[in-house]
Amino acid sequence: MVKQLTLDLALPPPTYARADFVLSQSNREALAWIDRWPDWPAPVLSLSGPPGSGKTHIGRIWAVRAGALVLDGSDLDGKSVVDLTVLSQANPALLVDRAEQAPERALFHLYNLMRERHGHLLLVSDLPPAHWRIDLPDLASRLRAAPTVSVAPPDDELLGSIILKQLADRQLHAGPGVVQYLVSRMERSAEIARRLVAALDCRALAERREVDRRLAADVLTDLAGESS
């Protein structure tokens, strides 16, 4: 009897390197805004897109390019004007991920401080600010005036390109129809595409199997079980 292998499919966090980013029609405009920096028409840019669309990757590309400090919206909880002043003085470029979770008054003061100091602020969120619930009128008016760019969910072509690149980076050869099989059944997410290839690599090595449709089906089942 063959002993069943228990695989640890916990994967390392993504690198968010520019070299790992796959350009497509869905993200071309957003990346163009990042490459346009620092020649933005306003101190603040809003970058939005659904989970798995790649907006976080685009934001991190900008953070490296601009030397920006990366914050989560919750990091602004409890921050006073003095705290935010010190933060803006030390960091002429800031990225706030999950910006819709930030306290409104803290975000309002941070916006003003970055503008006064001619800094730049990138707000990353699932929805554009026009769809946030904002009770502070002054913050709402400022965010409405800021340029906004959105990233669309990845299409089949983009997901297939990401899978092919990840396979090539790992020097894996996929059998006929594997990429199309995965794309037609996977969650529409660039991050899931990377997780799938990493899991394929892990399982193919551990079980000495070819990367074929049967292995792809097993890995999809494993990841679906993890999600549930």
* Mean residue pLDDT across the chain: 90
pLDDT one-digit tens code per residue, 13-38: 566 888 888 888 889 999 999 999 99
pLDDT at 8 over 50: no
Domain ranges of the chain: 25-150, 154-227
φ, ψ dihedrals at 106, nearest 5°: -65, -45
Give yes or no for a cis peptide into 38 (omega within 30° of 0): yes
pTM of the model: 0.79
pLDDT one-digit tens code per residue, 103-145: 999 999 999 999 999 999 999 999 999 999 999 999 999 999 9
CATH topology of domain 154-227: Helicase, Ruva Protein; domain 3 (1.10.8)
CA–CA separation, 57 and 226 (whole Å):
23
CA–CA separation, 81 and 60 (whole Å):
26
Q: Domain spanning 25-150: which CATH class is it, in words? A: alpha beta
Instruction: For strands 148-150 and 69-72, give the pairing.
Output: unpaired
Residue 193 sits at the vertex; the CA angle it makes with 126 and 30, to the nearest 5 degrees, is 40
CA–CA separation, 63 and 66 (whole Å):
5
CA–CA separation, 147 and 47 (whole Å):
9
pLDDT at 39 over 60: yes
